[in-house]
Amino acid sequence: MGKIKINLVSGSIEEPQAEKGNVVVGIDLGTTNSLVAWVNPGTGAPEVLVDEWGGLVPSVVGLLEGGDAVVGQKATGGLVTAPERTIFSVKRLLGRSYQDVSKVQELIGYRIIDDNTEQLVRILVDGRYYTPIELSAIILKELKDKAERILHANITGAVITVPAYFNDSQRMATRDAAKIAGLPVLRIINEPTAASLAYGIGFQEEVEGGFAAKKVLVYDLGGGTFDVSVLTIEDGVFEVLSTHGDTVLGGDDLDRAIVAHWTNQSEALQQLQSQISAAGMQSIRLAAEFAKKWVCTHRQEIFKKQLYWNPVARIFEVKEAEVTDSGLLAIAELGLSYEDLVTVASPIIEKTMKSVKSALKDAELSVADIDDVVLVGGSTRFPEIGRMLKEEFGFKHVNQELNPDEVVALGAAVEAEVLAGNRQDVLLLDVTPLSLGIETAGGLMDVLVPRNTKIPFKVAREYTTSVDGQVNMRIAVFQGERELVAENRKLAEFILRNIPAMPAGFPKIQVAFLLDANGMLKVKAKELRSGVEQDIEIKPQYGLTDAQVEQMLMDGFTHAKEDVEMRMVQEAINEGRQMVYTAERFVEKNGAMLNEEEIEGTKQRIENLRCLLDESSSSKDAILDAVTQLNDYTKPFAERLMDVAIAAALKGKQI
C-alpha cells in the first residue's frame, strides 16, 4: 500500500505521486497537429501521451486580447471567429524570411509583416510583434506542460522532429523555440528517421559479415504538406538520400475536392454559393473531412448525411436526424462512397506517386532496392495509398501497423530514450559535445554547428558586410551554448582581408566549418564574388575536461530562455541600426527625388528610431515598430525611384 498525502492547507487529499522523476520525451511539432510521446518504462514501448483532450494537439495558437494565449483544441474555434488572432500552420513560417513565404499570406487570416527583406518573418497581432519562433515555443510549452501533468514528472530533455527538407535556419529556429519553451533539446532529428525508428528499423540486425544496410522509403501525407524521403541506414547512421514533395498538398486538398464534388452534384448548393458565410463554408468543409475519415475507416459503406441551410444564420449545418424545424431548409443529401473518394482523390494521389518516382530516381534506386516503406501522416489512413504502393509499385514491405499520425512522435521518444542512455542496442555516434559558431553583430553567437552533430561534417553559411566599402572582416570562432559570445569559449580568430570595396550587403562571404574524424576543425572564409580567402585550423576539445564541457552545457540550459530573449532584442537593435544606415544613405543619394515634407518625414522617423536604439531600456516591440514605420514610410519612395529608373531605361537613357 502506498501512502496517502493530505494537503494541510486545503485539507484535500493529494493524488498519490511517485516522487517527481526526470523524464525525456519525443515531440512531433507538426504543421497541423503536434504530439508528445515517451517510452513507458513499464513496457519498454513508446506511447503517445493522452489527456482529456486526446493525444493530438492541433498546432493552433489563439492570441487573446489580454496578451494570453490558448493552444490546441481550445484555440481552433478562433479559426472561424477570430482569424486575425488565430495562428495556424506557423511551421510554414519558421526560420523563413518574408521573401521565402510571401505566397503564404493568401492562405492565412493573420498578418505577416512585409518588410521585403531577408530578415525572418514576423506576425503582427494587436500591435505586438510575434516571431514564428515564439509562437512555436507556445505550442512546445503546451506539450511540455501536458507531459509533465500526465507523468507527474519533470521533462529534462526532448528530441524534436523536423522535415528532412528543413534547412539550417529552420532547424535553428526549432531549437530556439524549444529554448524559449524551457525544453532542453537532446537532438533535432528528421521526421522520416523518427518514423523508421518507431518501426524498429535502424536498430542493428547482425547478418553474416557485419550489419545489414537498409534502404527505406518514407511516404508522409499530412494535413497540408506531403513529402517522401529515401533513407539508408547503416551501422545506426541514417542518411537522407533524397526528398521530394509539395509543401501545399495534403488532406486539406482531399476535403476541398469532396466539397467541389458535392457542389457539382447539387444545384441548390450552387445557387446558395454566393450567400455562404465563412463559417458556413467551414461547416461544409468539416462535413467533407468527416465524410472522408468515415469512408476510410468503413470502406465498404456509404456515408450519408443531410445538409441544411439555415437562412437566418446564413450557414450550413449538418444534421444526422430529420429536422422538422421550419427555419431550416434541407439542401442536399450528401453522399460519399469509398469509390467516390478514390475518384475525387485520384489527381492528388497521382501527384504524390510522381514524387515517389522522382525520389527513387534521385536516390538512384529501384523499387526492388527498398527494404521497407513507412507510411506517415493522418492522410495515409486512406487505404488507396497503401494499395497503390503495394500493388502498383510493387514495394515489398509497407509498414502501416502503427497509427500514422503518431509514428513520428513515437520514434522521437525512442531516440530520446537512446540519447538518455537507456538503451544499449543502438550505436551512438561520435558527436560534437558543444555548439560551434562565430561572432556576429552585437556580440551574438551564430551557431553553425549545433552540439550533437555527427562527426565528421562540413557546413557553410553566407554572411555579408553592413557598411559600404568594408574591406576586412573579422571571423571569431567560439564554442558553447550561450547566446552571447562573451559567455562562450573563444577558439580562434582571424581576419579576412582585401575584400574588394563594394556596397554594404553585396559581398558574399562564405564561412565553412569542417571537422574531420580526428576532431580537427578547419574554419575557412571566402568572399565568393572575388575569391579572396583565408583559413585556420583548431582543435576544439583541446584543454577541456569532461566536467568543463558538462558545466558549459548546464549553463546553456539554465540561461536558455533569458538568453534567447536577449538575443531577440539584440537582433531588433541590429535590424534597427541597419535600417537607420540604409535610410540615411537613401536620403543622401536620392534627396533630389523627394520633396521637403518627405525628407522631413523620413528624417523624423530615422531620429525616432535612433533614439530608441540609444536607449538601453527600449523593448523589442518598440524598436520593431519604429523600423516598420520608417520602412512603410519610405517604401513608396523607393518604388517611385524604380519606376523612374525603368522609364529612363525604356527611353534608352543612362541614369
Minimum gap (Å) between residue 363 Cβ and Mg ion: 21
Cβ proximity to ligand ADP: between 220 and 527 the closer is 220
Cβ proximity to Mg ion: between 157 and 222 the closer is 222
CA distance linking residue 380 with residue 219, whole number of Å = 8
548-560: burial string, b at 16+ Cβ within 10 Å, e else: ebeebbebbbebb
Q: Does 79 bind ligand ADP (CB under 6 A)?
A: no
Q: Does 224 bind ligand ADP (CB under 6 A)?
A: yes
Part of the chain binding Mg ion (CB under 5 A), chosen from 28-36, 83-91, 419-427, 577-585: 28-36
How far is CA 242 from each of CA 68, 237, 275, 297, 415, rounded to the nearest angstrom?
41, 15, 46, 32, 22
CA distance linking residue 418 with residue 435, whole number of Å = 21
Name, in order, each residue with C-beta under 8 angstroms of 209's C-beta and a sequence gap of 6 or more.
none
CA distance linking residue 66 with residue 350, whole number of Å = 47
Question: Binding string to ligand ADP for residues 386 to 415, with x set by CB under 6 A, is what?
Answer: -------------------x----------
CA distance linking residue 636 with residue 70, whole number of Å = 38
CA distance linking residue 11 with residue 4, whole number of Å = 12
Q: Which residues are catalytic?
A: 28, 91, 191, 220
Binder of ligand ADP out of 134, 142, 246, 252 (CB under 6 A): 252
Part of the chain binding Mg ion (CB under 5 A), chosen from 192-200, 214-222, 570-578, 607-615: 214-222
Part of the chain binding ligand ADP (CB under 6 A), chosen from 222-230, 233-241, 422-430, 443-451: 222-230
Q: Which pairs count as long-range contacts for 52-55, CB under 8 Å and 24+ apart, including other chains?
A: 55/406
Cβ proximity to Mg ion: between 135 and 502 the closer is 135
What cell was used for 258?
A: 469532396
Report the Cα–Cα distance between both ends of the chain, in Å, rounded: 89
Name, in order, each residue with C-beta under 8 angstroms of 197's C-beta and a sequence gap of 6 or more.
203, 411, 412, 414, 415
Part of the chain binding ligand ADP (CB under 6 A), chosen from 121-129, 301-309, 376-384, 596-604: 376-384
CA distance linking residue 259 with residue 289, whole number of Å = 9
Q: Does 340 bind ligand ADP (CB under 6 A)?
A: no
Closest Cα to residue 293, out of 281, 301, 346? 301
Question: Binding string to Mg ion for residues 253 to 272, with x set by CB under 5 A, is what?
Answer: --------------------
Tell me the one-letter amino acid at 66: G
Q: Does 222 bind ligand ADP (CB under 6 A)?
A: yes
Cβ proximity to ligand ADP: between 157 and 222 the closer is 222
The string of DSSP codes covering 71-131 is ETHHHHTHHHH-GGGEEE-GGGTTT-BHHHHGGGGGG-SSEEP---SSSBP-EEETTEEE-
Which backbone phi and psi does 486 adopt, to 5 degrees?
-55, -30
55 binds, among ligand ADP, Mg ion, none (CB under 5 to 8 A by kind): none
Angle, CA 455 vertex, CA 453 and CA 460 arms, to 5°: 70
Cβ proximity to ligand ADP: between 386 and 507 the closer is 386
Minimum gap (Å) between residue 538 Cβ and ligand ADP: 41
224 binds, among Mg ion, ligand ADP, none (CB under 5 to 8 A by kind): ligand ADP
Cβ proximity to ligand ADP: between 176 and 253 the closer is 253
Binder of ligand ADP out of 24, 33, 283, 417 (CB under 6 A): 33
Q: Does 78 bind ligand ADP (CB under 6 A)?
A: no
Binder of Mg ion out of 23, 25, 30, 153 (CB under 5 A): 30
Part of the chain binding ligand ADP (CB under 6 A), chosen from 28-36, 232-240, 305-313, 498-506: 28-36
CA distance linking residue 399 with residue 373, whole number of Å = 6
Cβ proximity to ligand ADP: between 405 and 571 the closer is 405
CA distance linking residue 450 with residue 169, whole number of Å = 12
Cβ proximity to ligand ADP: between 146 and 381 the closer is 381
3-state secondary structure of 599: helix
Q: Which residue has the cell 494499395?
A: 387
How far is CA 652 from each of CA 541, 592, 639, 644, 649, rounded to the nearest angstrom?
61, 22, 20, 12, 5
Binder of ligand ADP out of 23, 26, 32, 482 (CB under 6 A): 32
Q: Does 222 bind Mg ion (CB under 5 A)?
A: yes
33 binds, among Mg ion, ligand ADP, none (CB under 5 to 8 A by kind): ligand ADP
292 binds, among Mg ion, ligand ADP, none (CB under 5 to 8 A by kind): ligand ADP
Minimum gap (Å) between residue 383 Cβ and ligand ADP: 9
Q: Does 192 bind ligand ADP (CB under 6 A)?
A: no
Minimum gap (Å) between residue 225 Cβ and ligand ADP: 6
491 contacts 520 by C-beta, under 8 angstroms: no
Question: Which residue has its beta carbon closest to ligand ADP?
Answer: 251
342 contacts 158 by C-beta, under 8 angstroms: no
Part of the chain binding ligand ADP (CB under 6 A), chosen from 1-9, 24-32, 392-400, 519-527: 24-32
Cβ proximity to ligand ADP: between 399 and 634 the closer is 399
Residues that bind Mg ion in the complex, under the rule CB under 5 A: 30, 222
Residues that bind ligand ADP in the complex, under the rule CB under 6 A: 30-33, 222-225, 250-252, 289, 292-293, 296-297, 377-379, 381-382, 405
